[in-house]
Structure 1
Amino acid sequence: MEKSVIIEEYNPDWPVEYEREIKKIKDIFGEKILGIEHIGSTSVKGLGSKPIIDIMAGVKDLRNVDEYIGPLSQIGYEFVFHQEFPFRRFFRKGQWRAGTHHFHIYQYQSEYWNNNILFRDYLRNYPKVLEQYYQLKKDLAEKYRMDRILYTSAKAPFIEEIINKAKNELKC
C-alpha cells in the first residue's frame, strides 16, 4: 500500500539516525566508499520533510556496486532497479513507496553527486530559499497527498533552479 505524502516538522533525530545508518553501511563497503553524505530534506536543519533519511555514497565505479546487493539486504536495504537512472544505484529500506531510508550511490564527485550537495548546501545557507522550498513541499503534499511520484515531479523545477543558481554563484 502506498503511504500518503505527509510533511513532518524538522526532527533533530534525523541526523542521529543518519549517523547510525552510515556506520552499518561503512562496515559493508569499507574503503570502497570515497565519500558519504546526508542529503535530502532531512539533512537540512529546520526543513520539514517526509521522514525518509537520504544517504548518498560515492564510489569510483558504479559497476562494482552489484557485489554489495546481498550484504546490503542483510541490513534491510533492497536494491531497486531504475532503468531511467543509469548513473545511480538505489536501495530502499522499508516498504515500497513507504521507505524509511533511501541509499543512493553515485560515482564520486560526478555531476549528480555534486548537484545533491549543491542543493543541500544552498538550502542550509539561504534561509529564505529554505522557507520557499518548505512551503512548496507543504503545498504539493496537500495537492498530491496520495501520489508520491507527482509530488516529487512537481518539486523538480524548483530544485533545478536552485542548483543552477548555486552553480552560477560558484562561477563568480
Structure 2
Amino acid sequence: MLTAADIVTFDDTPPPPGSSPWVDKGPQREIAVVDYDPTWPNSFEQLASRLRGALGATALAVEHVGSTSVPGLPAKPIIDVDLTVPDSADEDAWLPPLEAAGFSLQIREPWWYGHRCLTASDPAANIHVFSPDCAEVARHRIFRDWLRTQPQDRELYRDAKLTAAEAANAGGEHVMQYNARKQQVIRAIYHRAFVAAGLLA
C-alpha cells in the first residue's frame, strides 16, 4: 500500500548505464503547445473504451491525466492516459491485445516504476502503463485535480509550458528536454498540492 512518503518522494534515478528507454523511435523533437481543446475529454473516452475493450478486466484503472485533462490549460495535442494493469512487467498479459488494438510500444523503463508507454493515433495519445499502488500514478491524479481547482497555479504552469516549448524549439531540443525545463515549476506546484492534501507538513 502506498504511503505519504512514497507519494511525495520523486524517483529521479537515471537509466542504468548503457540502457535506453526507447523501444522504437526516439523522443519527439518539435514541441507544439496549443490552446485547450474541449474535445479532449471525448478523445480520452474513446481511448478508454478501446483500452477496456482490448484488455477487459486486465485494465484495472484507466485515468485521463496530463495537461489535456485540465480544462482551460494549453497542452501538446496528445492525450495522456494512465493505464493500471496487474503487473506492468508481465507484457505477455497486456501488450499483445493492445498492439492488436492499434497501440504501439515506444518506451520500456523497468527501472522507473516499471513504466511502459505506448502511443496511438486518431486521437494521438500516450498510454502510460503501471502496476497497482504506483506513486507516479497517485501523483498524476493529485497534480491534475489540483490544477483543475487552482487557477493561479494553472496559469503558472501554462506560462512555464509555453516558455519551455519556445526555448526547446529554438534550441532544437527534444520532448525530454522540454519536460526538464518545466520541472522546477512542476515540483513547486506539487509541493503546494501535497501540503493541501496533508501529505507534507
Check whether TM > 0.5. yes
What runs of 5+ residues in structure 1 fail to find an aligned partner?
none
The aligned residue for residue 178 of structure 2 is: 151
Indicate the SS of the match to 1:144.
helix
Q: State the identity %.
A: 27
Q: For 1:41-99, what per-residue CA distance to the aligned partner results, in whole angstroms no more than 9, with x for missing partners? A: 000000001100001112232233443222212222111223553431211125xxxx9
User: Which structure has the greater CA radius of gyration?
Assistant: 2
Change (3 A) 1:160 1:84: farther
TM-score (norm 2): 0.76
Read off the aligned partner of 2:117 and give its amino acid letter: F
The aligned residue for residue 106 of structure 1 is: 130
The aligned residue for residue 166 of structure 1 is: 193
Are the aligned partners of 1:140 and 1:154 in contact in 2 as well (CA < 8 Å)?
yes
What runs of 5+ residues in structure 2 fail to find an aligned partner?
1-24
Are the aligned partners of 1:5 and 1:144 in contact in 2 as well (CA < 8 Å)?
yes
Q: For 1:17-53, what per-residue CA distance to the aligned partner results, in whole angstroms no more than 9, with x for missing partners? A: 1101110100111112222110000000000011000
Out of 77, 89, 93, the residue aligned to residue 116 of structure 2 is: 89
Indicate the SS of the match to 1:138.
helix
Are the aligned partners of 2:113 and 2:130 in contact in 1 as well (CA < 8 Å)?
no
Where has structure 1 moved over 4 Å in runs of 4 or more? none
TM-score (norm 1): 0.88
The aligned residue for residue 146 of structure 2 is: 122
Indicate the SS of the match to 2:124.
strand
Quick check: 1:19 aligned with 2:45? yes
> CA RMSD, aligned part only?
2.0
Quick check: 1:132 aligned with 2:159? no
Are the aligned partners of 1:61 and 1:107 in contact in 2 as well (CA < 8 Å)?
yes
Which structure has the highest strand share of the two? 1
How many residues matched? 168
Are the aligned partners of 1:77 and 1:93 in contact in 2 as well (CA < 8 Å)?
yes
Are the aligned partners of 1:57 and 1:108 in contact in 2 as well (CA < 8 Å)?
no
